């Protein structure tokens, strides 16, 4: 899944992700899917145990927004806010099902913050 992208040559943010569905023995295929609630780049995207995808942060303003994509129905929904805005952070699914979001920057300075997202 490609969630958010920079559209060339004008470099504007897109809220229109595309779903990549490779088939055995065939080249990759792309199809449009539902739109993000905001345009993003340098965000995190983490596959959760329930099959949804958590997309958090990103943008040139260090967004605090987070949303979930449900590939079964092709929709996005807001899922609360990060405590701190992050651009270029990492997100790691932990064995307990929570997602650890660490670092990145706020658009100007490196972030030293870490926070947990609990999908429960």
Note down pLDDT in tens along the chain; length 120 residues.
444 444 444 444 455 555 555 556 666 667 778 888 888 889 999 999 999 999 999 987 889 999 999 999 989 999 989 999 999 999 999 999 999 999 998 878 899 999 999 987
**Strand 114-117, strand 99-102: pairing:** antiparallel
Range of the structural domain that residue 20 is part of:
5-117
Q: Can you read off the two tokens belonging to residue 72?
A: 């079964």
C-alpha 100/C-alpha 83 separation (Å) is 12
* 56 three-state secondary structure: strand
Q: What pLDDT score does 9 carry?
A: 42
Domain containing 55 — which CATH number?
Answer: 2.120.10.80
**DSSP output for 62-102:** T--EEEEEETTTTEEEEEEE-SS--BS-EEEE-TTS-EEEE
The answer to whether residues 106 and 77 touch, using CB atoms and an 8 Å cutoff, is: no
How many structural domains is the chain composed of?
1
């Amino acid at each position: 899944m490609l969630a958010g992208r920079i559209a060339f040559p004008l470099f504007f943010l897109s809220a229109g992700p595309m779903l990549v569905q490779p088939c055995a023995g065939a080249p990759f295929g792309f199809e449009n899917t539902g739109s993000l609630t905001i345009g993003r780049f340098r965000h995190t995207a983490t596959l959760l145990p329930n099959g949804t995808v958590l997309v958090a942060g990103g943008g040139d303003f260090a967004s605090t927004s987070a949303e979930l994509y449900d590939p079964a129905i092709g929709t996005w929904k807001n899922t609360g806010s990060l405590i701190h805005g992050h651009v270029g952070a990492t997100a790691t699914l932990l064995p307990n099902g929570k997602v650890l979001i660490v670092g990145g920057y706020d658009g100007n300075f490196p972030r030293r913050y870490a926070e947990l997202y609990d999908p429960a």
